[in-house]
Amino acid sequence: MRTQNLLFHNSELGSSIDGHQRKLLSQIDSLQPAQLLPADDSQICAHFIGEFRINPIELHEDKLVLIEPHEVEVEQFSHDWGRNYTRIMLQFRFELPFEGDAVLLKCCPSQRSLNPPCADVEGHNLVFIFHREDRDAEALKRELQNQISRIKQYLEWQRTAIDAWNAASAALVQQHVSARRAKLTADKDLVAGLGFAVRRRGDPPTSYTLPIKPKQVVPPLPAAQPRALSKPDPVLDNAIYEEILDTLADMSVTMERCPSAFTNLDEESLRMQFLIPLNGKFQGKTSGETFNAAGKTDILVKHGDRILFIAECKFWKGAQSLTEAIDQLLSYLTWRETKAAILLFNRNKDFSAVVAQIPGIFSKHPQYIRTESYSKTTGFRFIVRSSSDSKQHLTVTILAFDVPT
């Protein structure tokens, strides 16, 4: 393999996260009264949580490609002759796509080896280049897999610190946004109490620009009906629905890795933890904050005045509590294409016993039609009748989480 850039070599991950936090707090402290005071805290918090979420690197090994090999001149040094010389060798270039924050490939975790992996980073591709004279395909594959395995090991070492930051950032943002609001409100009250006419120094910004997120959730429109002259109803694509559920289900891994961040959270605070990865991954067509909070425990995706997806967050307090959650959720589902989920949180109970009860409880509901297969170990999928139209069927998925105590 030719000389390539060392990965995980430029800076310490812990120091980078500290700098990330300082930048976050600085931006919150720079919020002006016209930006913060008229706005809702949940919108401001969702922006900063999404903006400062650290997206770990995920390799797409199934998309690894070999660019067609070709001959190149390779300069080498001869110790016998004491000078450089060139040789004709076959160049193999492999490109491995990845998702996540590319800067992490420069950051060294606290746990490391003495021999970090090497690769070039071009956009969102890791590039491996090998020069060989032999025709040993197995040796080339071993050399490539060795580099990829070492990269994966470093990424795993990074995850503890990244997951800890992502889990703790919501509470940090909420605390500092509240403190900033309190200060600005006190300043405003002080000025009002002086009783003087105030001449403005200029026109401060009246809104806060929300960032563009990397992926859009744009509901596809169904095929036009021959008689229909009205605008067709939007629907949430099944693939996007599954990706939303996968993102929610992945939070169980974060809970296992950073249990202390979830110990004392109530339903509303837990919901905020689930909003972080959702808003970091998706963006709706009509709102910068795609996944919105509704009431105390709901997560919504809306398109115009249509609810495309709704999730209800509930703690397990026995069979009756789940039945009530089902009733509450189904009472929302008045539109035939709505897809829904229940995030069921268990704390201080036998989790296996709780999960085992879910299918039986749901099957007794009067709107239940059937149970469908679902790949998640602690998840279930059910088809139910709409409350507003018994001929229309709705999809409800339950994801159960064992919340640390």
Chain segment 207-265, per-residue pLDDT in tens: 444 343 445 444 443 443 444 444 555 667 788 888 888 888 888 888 877 787 788 78
Within a 13 Å sphere around the CA of 102, how many CA atoms are in the beta-carbon half?
11
Residue in 5, 34, 223 with CA at minimum distance from that of residue 105: 5
The residues, ordered by sequence, that sit 6+ positions from 251 with a Cβ below 8 Å of its Cβ are 273, 274, 277, 401
pLDDT at 243: 86
Residue 120, φ and ψ in degrees, nearest 5? -95, 145
Return the pLDDT at 288: 37
Q: Higher model confidence: residue 84 or residue 351?
A: 351
Q: What percent of the chain has pLDDT over 90?
A: 40
The pLDDT mean for the chain works out to 82
- Encoded tokens for 34: 């016209």
If you compute the radius of gyration of the chain from its CA atoms, what whole number of angstroms results? 27
pLDDT of 146 reads 94
Of residues 118 and 290, more confidence is placed in: 118
From residue 236, alpha-carbon distances to 216, 298, 300, 307 in Å are 12, 18, 12, 9
Per-residue model confidence (pLDDT) at position 405: 78
> Other CB atoms closer than 10 Å to residue 340's CB: what's the count?
23
No. of helices (H) and no. of strands (E), the chain? 9, 16
**Tell me, what's the pLDDT at 44?**
86
Count, residues in the chain: 405
Model-wide pTM > 0.75: no
Give residues with Cβ within 8 angstroms of 330, minimum separation 6.
365, 367, 384, 387, 394, 396
3-state secondary structure of 214: coil
